[in-house]
Amino acid sequence: MNVSRDVILDLLPIYLAGEGSPATRELVEAFLRDDPELAQRVRLQWKENFERAAPSSLPPDLELKSLSRTRALLGWQRWCFGFAIAFMAIAFSIRFSFDDHGRLAQVRPVILDSPGPLGVCLGIGVAFLIVYFILRGRLRGRSF
pLDDT digits (tens, 9 = 90+) for 78-129: 999 999 999 999 888 888 999 998 899 999 888 888 888 888 999 999 999 9
Residue 107 pairs with which residues in a beta bridge?
96
The end-to-end CA distance of the chain, in Å, is 62
Name the pTM for this structure.
Answer: 0.53
Round to whole Å and give the CA distance between 89 and 82: 11
Between 143 and 139, whose confidence is greater? 139
Q: How far apart are CA 38 and CA 8, in angstroms?
A: 10
Instruction: Tally Cβ neighbours within 10 Å of residue 141.
Output: 6
Q: Provide the pLDDT confidence category of residue 56 given band limits of 50, 70 and 90.
A: low
